[in-house]
């Protein structure tokens, strides 16, 4: 059972889903606070471990119990090293795709088509800012083929489909001139992981 | 504009990735009588090296690297046949590809541009390259180095599969193997039995030059 005083350090790219998952899970969510790190850290994954360490260290010095709502997320083990050294745990998986859809589904998606560009609700919502602007495509539109030339389809791992997100996902696929497929993942996988981590952290 | 000013401008325009202007100035330089080597070694390559240095310092990011690389690639398309005509000798042949199951090629393409700029003949096999295709390319081109690129932890194991395929084909001792990509480390490169690893395109060029020397020394032994 979780205890008050647990803080989830969440990637800003999944913070909305983390909060929703905690609300849906009385055990995991009871008394759990969420602190977020900027979602754009994902474009500089080499910074993630350091930022998590800084926030987790501060929280631990205040006597708080910490769990980390990041997967490996391109840190290639650096986040695991931090977690081990601080005695904390993170979400299982390589990316949030694994957390939402399950690693077997994600493996199957890439096995079927390695040239798959994956979206989550966050990416659908923020594509202009987190992808177009961050990759410099607004300034250098000639780079579209450099970034996306090898992709063959877009797969949207949808946490919570809405009409607005569907329109946006369609527009992104059209922008990339790629077919769009949608896999409804919900947030059950995330909720289960958070419950596991919160329970373990709560002792 | 004299030759010195032209080279300085070419350097500056490559730095900011103005591909049309870089190509135009390359043509102007050739018309003025500048040699392809002078344009390459006194402007284009130093500029791309500066791009790499700024990237390492955090002053440039991937988009800036890419547009500079595109500008350089455009100039190289113009200069390549002239360099061959003038008999500039390649310092080595480098077969490059992204491993099977992986479509990421931004880092690989930057390496290709830097390697070619440094005087390598680069044979790019593209993305999702199967072990047998690497083997066939090594047989056909007899390169000094074959490079495997991977962006995903899930595709890195293909390095070992490729090396095994080279061994099975009796080619492993005839070619040096370099590996690279975002998740790759020196430890991983050592573990799979690669001869070289580089964390970025600039380092890859220096490491490749070292490996060519080593390869040729071994060949002479």
Q: Which residues in chain A have Cβ-Cβ distances shorter than 8 Å to B111?
A: none
Q: Which residues in chain A have Cβ-Cβ distances shorter than 8 Å to B128?
A: 114-115
Q: Which residues in chain B have Cβ-Cβ distances shorter than 8 Å to A94?
A: 153-154
What is the chain B residue with the closest CA to A116?
B103
Prediction ipTM score: 0.84
How much is the average pLDDT of B52-72?
Answer: 89
Tell whether B106 lies on the interface with A, counting CB pairs under 8 A. yes
Query: How confident is the model at residue A2, as a pLDDT?
Result: 43
Q: What is the pLDDT along chain A (203 residues), one digit of tens a residue?
A: 444 589 999 999 999 999 999 988 766 556 789 999 999 898 889 999 999 999 999 999 999 999 999 999 999 999 999 999 999 999 999 999 999 999 999 999 999 999 999 999 999 999 999 999 999 999 999 999 999 999 999 999 999 999 999 999 999 999 999 999 999 999 999 999 998 888 887 65
| CA angle (A95, A96, A101) in 5-degree steps | 110
Burial class (CB in 10 A: 0-12, 13-18, 19+), B78: middle
Q: Which of A76, A110, A111 sits opposite B183 (nearest CB)?
A: A76
The pTM of the full predicted model, rounded to 2 decimals, is 0.88
Question: Smallest Cα–Cα separation from A78: which of A59, A103, A52, A96?
Answer: A52
Tell me whether residues A150 and B104 touch, CB distance under 8 A: yes
The number of CA neighbours under 13 Å toward the Cβ of B61 is 10
Give B 148-177 residues with CB within 8 A of chain A: 153-154
Instruction: Decide the pairing of beta strands A65-69 and A116-120.
Output: unpaired
| Domains with residue ranges and CATH for chain A | 6-96+187-201 (3.40.50), 103-184 (no CATH)
Query: How confident is the model at residue B217, as a pLDDT?
Result: 77
* CB-based contact A86:A56 (threshold 8 Å): yes
- The topology (CATH level 3) of B3-86 is 1.10.1240
Domain boundaries, given as residue ranges, for chain B: 3-86, 92-220
The DSSP secondary-structure symbol of A90 reads B
Tell whether A142 lies on the interface with B, counting CB pairs under 8 A. yes
What are the tokens at B59? 């002053």
Asked whether the domain spanning B92-220 has the same topology as the one spanning B3-86, the reply is no
The answer regarding whether domain B92-220 maps to CATH 3.40.50.280 reads: yes
Distance CA B138, CA B146 (A): 7
């Amino acid at each position: 059972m979780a205890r008050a005083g647990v803080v989830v350090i969440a990637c800003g790219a999944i913070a909305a889903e983390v909060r929703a998952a905690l609300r849906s899970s009385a055990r995991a969510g009871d008394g759990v606070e969420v602190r977020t790190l900027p979602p754009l850290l994902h474009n500089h994954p080499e910074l993630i471990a350091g930022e998590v360490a800084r926030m987790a260290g501060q929280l631990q010095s205040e006597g708080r119990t910490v769990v980390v709502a990041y997967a490996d997320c391109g840190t290639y083990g650096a986040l695991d090293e931090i977690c081990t050294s601080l005695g904390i745990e993170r979400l299982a998986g390589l990316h949030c795709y694994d957390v939402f859809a399950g690693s077997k589904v994600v493996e199957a998606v890439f096995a079927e088509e390695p040239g798959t560009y994956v979206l989550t609700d966050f990416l659908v919502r923020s594509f202009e800012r987190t992808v177009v602007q961050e990759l410099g495509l607004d300034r250098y539109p000639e780079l579209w083929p450099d970034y996306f030339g090898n992709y063959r389809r877009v797969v949207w791992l949808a946490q919570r489909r809405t009409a607005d997100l569907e329109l946006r996902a369609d527009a992104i696929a059209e922008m990339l001139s790629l077919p769009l497929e949608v896999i409804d993942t919900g947030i059950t996988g995330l909720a289960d992981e958070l419950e596991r981590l919160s329970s373990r952290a709560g002792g | 504009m004299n030759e010195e000013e032209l080279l300085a401008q070419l350097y500056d325009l490559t730095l900011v990735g103005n591909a049309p202007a870089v190509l135009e100035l390359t043509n102007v330089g050739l018309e003025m009588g500048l040699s392809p080597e002078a344009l390459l070694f006194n402007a284009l390559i130093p500029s791309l090296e500066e791009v790499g240095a700024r990237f390492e310092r955090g002053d440039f990011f991937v988009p800036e690297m890419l547009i500079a690389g595109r500008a350089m690639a455009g100039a190289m398309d113009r200069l390549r046949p002239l360099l061959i005509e003038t008999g500039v000798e390649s310092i080595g042949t480098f077969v490059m590809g992204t491993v099977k199951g992986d479509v990421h090629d931004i880092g690989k393409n930057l390496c290709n541009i830097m390697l070619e700029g440094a005087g390598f003949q680069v044979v790019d096999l593209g993305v999702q390259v199967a072990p047998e295709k690497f083997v066939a390319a090594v047989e056909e081109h007899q390169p000094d180095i074959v490079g495997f690129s991977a962006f995903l932890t899930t595709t890195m194991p293909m390095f070992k599969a490729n090396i095994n395929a080279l061994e099975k084909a009796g080619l492993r001792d005839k070619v040096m193997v370099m590996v690279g990509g975002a998740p790759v480390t020196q430890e991983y490169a050592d573990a799979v039995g690669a001869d070289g690893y580089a964390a970025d395109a600039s380092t890859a060029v220096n490491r490749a030059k070292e490996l060519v020397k080593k390869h040729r020394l071994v060949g002479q032994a």
